[in-house]
Amino acid sequence: MTHQLSGSISHTARNRILSVDVLRGCAMVLVIIQHAYLSVNFQSIPSLLDFFIWKITGIAAVAFVAISGMMYSYFLYTRPDWQTAYRRYTGRAAFLLLAAHPVINVVSYYFNAADKQYPSGYVEFLDLIVLNFPITDTIAFCLLASPVLVVITGHMRRAAVISAMLLLAVFIRASMFPVDLHWAIFKELTFGGLGEPKVFWFPLIPWLAIFLSGSFAGYALACHKKGTMEVSAMVNMINKGGLFLAVCGAVLVLGYKLLKMTKGSTWNHNIFLAIYPGQTTTLLPVYLAALALLFAVFLKEMDISGRYNRLFWLLSVFGRTSLFTFVLQFAVVESVPALLGLKGTLGLVGFIVLFVTGAILTWLLAYLYGRWRGWISDKDYEICVNVARARIPYA
């Protein structure tokens, strides 16, 4: 049966990593939820629900960066000459900086400009188009800076470097407050600051650490590609890593709570701001654990059990067109509502309607774009089902 199926499957389709497409698609759904939520009137949302929505969707950016790191390291590990892959992704980094940066800022312009006043059109253009730095800029930096740490350093040393980056970022945020404006901006660019950022939402050092965290799963995928690791062993390794991260995250969050209760009135308040559970601090291991465990589930379902359903396929369309989807959703769920005067006005029902309609419209446009680019073929769902079934041992 495997032989019959494989005869009708193209080489490109056979070598796709179905589980990665679906995982990336899940991340894009969370991005759409989070950005649709930005149009609500926060006063109308129950505080507990608001807290959970922010914390749950906070995994979206972590997933976007960690999955990028996973796939980048996968290509570095599987190419005979990693320098060739690096040169290819240097062009990708340039594309993100020179093309994605202005396009994202243009399509999100009406949302970002709503309720703001500028002394001149030049200042407005500088603030909203030039000096607004999306997460793709940080990913571009990671593409350029990470190969040495991925290819040359061993796993334990890389884990130590990742931990050191995250701890250093917390220490500098909590203890260093430059008076000079240029040094303050440099600190926010590299390590981040306390409270809402003035310019840089995604500081380079902690997000590079998140990018590098994906390299461990990328290495496992590369070993499987080379035939040196079975899928079951890869799933077992990722599950163990996810459970370890979950325990670390639980300990860190609980430790933060205990410190806050016992030392909150005596310790410097900046320390608690710096370690408050978030994307790059004590909540990060929980986010990475959720990603790892979900990825293991997808690997088991598709690569071991050979099960591939319609929901997986719907998510994979977002996954295969992730950059296009990411750019497009800024226009669909941010700028269009802002143009209609809805920013800051929606209640819970309005938020749900915006998310559902925005997700459907974004999916349809992503599907059409994927068909146009040749990434999504005719009878694509049937092909994906056959790819999954063809990978079942002894099918």
Res 118 pLDDT > 90: no
Res 42 pLDDT > 60: yes
Place 6 in a pLDDT band, splitting at 50, 70 and 90: very low
Q: What is the pTM of this model?
A: 0.92
User: Which residue would you say has higher pLDDT here, 236 or 7?
Assistant: 236
User: Would 82 be classed as within a structural domain?
Assistant: yes
User: Would 59 be classed as within a structural domain?
Assistant: yes
User: Would 326 be classed as within a structural domain?
Assistant: yes
Place 133 in a pLDDT band, splitting at 50, 70 and 90: very high
pLDDT of the residue at 1:
37
User: Would 216 be classed as within a structural domain?
Assistant: yes
Res 36 pLDDT > 60: yes
Res 339 pLDDT > 60: yes
* Cα dist from 376 to 251, 300, 314, 379, whole Å: 43, 24, 11, 9
Tokens matching residue 192: 């981040």
Burial call 132-170: b when 16+ CB within 10 Å, e when fewer: bbbbbbbbbbbbeebbebbeeeeeeebeeebeebbeebb
User: Would 354 be classed as within a structural domain?
Assistant: yes
Res 122 pLDDT > 90: no
Res 17 pLDDT > 90: no
CB 144 within 8 A of CB 93: yes
User: Would 395 be classed as within a structural domain?
Assistant: no
Res 154 pLDDT > 80: yes
CA dihedral 127, 130, 133, 135 (to 10 degrees): 140
As a whole number, mean pLDDT of residues 43-56 equals 93
As a whole number, mean pLDDT of residues 256-272 equals 89
As a whole number, mean pLDDT of residues 211-238 equals 91
pLDDT of the residue at 179:
86
The total of structural domains in the chain comes to 1
Res 139 pLDDT > 70: yes
pLDDT of the residue at 10:
53
As a whole number, mean pLDDT of residues 253-263 equals 93
- Average pLDDT in the chain: 90
Res 13 pLDDT > 60: no
As a whole number, mean pLDDT of residues 15-35 equals 92
Res 134 pLDDT > 90: yes
Res 12 pLDDT > 70: no
Domain range for 169 is: 2-390
